[in-house]
Amino acid sequence: MKAESRDNSTSFPIKNSLEAARQEYQYNYTLIPSVAMVETLPEKEKFPREWYYLLAQSLKVIFINTIITNRGNRGSLSVGDDVRDFILEAVVKGAIPTQFSVASRLLQIIPQMLLVGFSKDFRELDDLFFSLLRESGVTVLRDSVERIKQLMYEGQPTGQVQNLRDYEKLLPQIALPALIHTLNQDDGFAWMQVAGYNPVMIERVNSLPNNFPVTDEHYQGVMGNDDCLADTIAQGRLYIADYRILDGGVNGTFPRYQKYLYAPLALFAVPQGNDPHRTLRAIAIQCGQNPGENPIVTPNSGKYAWMFAKTVVHIADANYHEAVSHLGRTHLFVGSFAIATHRQLPPSHPLSVLLLPHFVGTLAINDAAQRQLIAPGGSVDILLSASIDNSRVFAVKGLQSYGFNSAMLRKQLKLQGVDDVNALPVYPYRDDALLIWDAIHAWVSDYIGLYYQTDMDVQQDIYLQRWSQEVGAFDGGRISDFGQENGHINTKLYLIDAITLIIFTASAQHAAVNSPQQDLMSYAGMVPLAGYAPASVLLKSEVTEADYLQLLPPLEQAQKQLNILYLLGSVYYSKLGNYPPRHFTDTKVEPLLQKFRKQLQKIEDIINQRNLNRQPYTYLLPSRIPQSINI
């Protein structure tokens, strides 16, 4: 069946359905000004029960780890003792209801839930737990969580670290990041640019910026005298990470610490030769956009000056990542498409059928983010470098500067000059992402081909055209540069590319920037979310270890960073290619879907094989890519 033969129907049921959806999914541009968000979260957009079970598994780990850390000096004999002591104390202090019948049963249930965990086998236990809370007149989210959280953080370590090992003491029940042993090695620092939590920053250098006066002396001090900047530029081997979007940001102060935001430039190069395993090397860093105030720092500038500068880049990278790469260019980007799809495409429309599984949980997590995570006093305000208002501005600027048509993966890589595998041979994010992109593109192409045979079919689908125009409209989704002429979609090829980008962003791109929060970004000793010393420290004649340690987060900030980022990066709800059973009623879809799944399995094998010959990069393994943005 052609799409327009279904979609051009003027039946009252479809009209009424869409009108109801438009009332239910109304735009609001003030929650995160001026991003398109849903006014009120519809009931059907709320998280499914299974999602809460997965969330509870991660919360259990965080809870026990925090209790062990903060109560470790009380002489408890075991994890169970610590948890039971905590529950008893919570009852005594009123965080858990004190009615005898309720409290006694809670004391039996809660330790089991925390120590055994939630799973489908424990749903009966889960139901009993919440029924008891209802019986007591206490609701988990409103009355108990904040008091339990305050009690949980009593006795936490505080103040500046004396050495990096102090951070390790915050993880008695959580494994240290695998890359911790390369923390102070330059190879590990450069690796973050191509396979880290924000592997989208580097750009090929055609000429050095005027405000970044790196010289051959700087360059050759790292790469040797048989190479020079001019040759490196000519051969496409010089790359820059420029965090200028953060320049001028307002430093945050929460809760009692002065935080600092930086806008550094970092220079990297690939060595000469034909070895396909040549990796990126760090050359120089300038910790601000003004060279008069920020000296060029290289590996030869002194151990702690170089460590300080590299950490400044990590801090800027983390702030750019959270606001721009993560929130702006995945969550908020996909949210606009989710709203427009409900408002303009009938539920039976083939594109609605294809896209909606990729939007599950997105509006809910975006709503929760704007109410809690990026609200005043929320985790972003507490932990990131900038003021909360500035962090929100960075997210909006990141989204508004993200032109849809230039965001197609191959086009984006080409614009950044990182598409040449000979010039930049080791770039795991690029290489793995292209495999996923091509698989999604083939699946979308096959699917679209069932309903649109020609460009004319696309042009005559009135629902599709209304959807396209709303996505880019000022009173719609406000997605920059979406569509073709006048916001319409005129060709089948453009439609395939557009749907591919939406699905890729909702699945693989979000996985690439979300999952590393757990094992890379949660550990403040490796990736601080804020700096606690000004970059002007680098103007000293000698930067000391004490100067470097002063830059790092205090222990109480580090513990909160661990807890929130471990949680955000550890929930894997759904998997790419696993649509709900009997989701596609058209029997012609099934063989195409099986083809897509087989291709994803081949990609899994290819990436696993690649990881045998390189530092493992696992964030784009298909088995680790959720179907939608739901955390």
pLDDT in tens, 250-285: 999 987 899 999 999 999 999 999 999 999 999 999
Residue appearing with tokens 């609701």: 139
Q: Which residues of the chain have pLDDT under 70?
A: 1-12, 72-149, 183
* DSSP-based three-state secondary structure for 534: coil
* DSSP-based three-state secondary structure for 285: strand
**Chain Cα centroid distance, residue 552:** 22
pLDDT given at position 138: 42
Residue appearing with tokens 């100067």: 547
pLDDT given at position 78: 54
Give every CB contact of residue 131 below 8 A, 6+ residues apart in sequence: none
> Smallest Cα–Cα separation from 96: which of 125, 55, 129?
129
Distances from the Cα of 53 to the Cα of 47, 124, 572, 583, angstroms: 11, 12, 11, 23
**Predicted TM-score (pTM) of this structure:** 0.91
Q: Which residues pair with 297 in a beta bridge?
A: 285
Tokens found for residue 255: 């809760």
> What's the CA gap between 200 and 590, in Å, rounded?
35
Query: Cβ(532)–Cβ(550) under 8 Å?
Result: yes
pLDDT given at position 104: 46
> What's the CA gap between 108 and 559, in Å, rounded?
28
> What's the CA gap between 618 and 616, in Å, rounded?
6
- Residue 13: cis peptide before it, omega within 30 degrees of 0: no
Q: For the chain, what are the domain ranges?
A: 50-152
* DSSP-based three-state secondary structure for 177: coil
Tokens found for residue 531: 């700096």
- Residue 34: cis peptide before it, omega within 30 degrees of 0: yes
Tokens found for residue 542: 């000698």
What is the DSSP code (8-state) at residue 347?
T
> What's the CA gap between 589 and 591, in Å, rounded?
6
* DSSP-based three-state secondary structure for 282: strand
pLDDT given at position 90: 53
> Smallest Cα–Cα separation from 628: which of 509, 535, 525, 516?
509
Angle 333-458-473 (CA atoms, 0-180°, nearest 5)?
A: 35
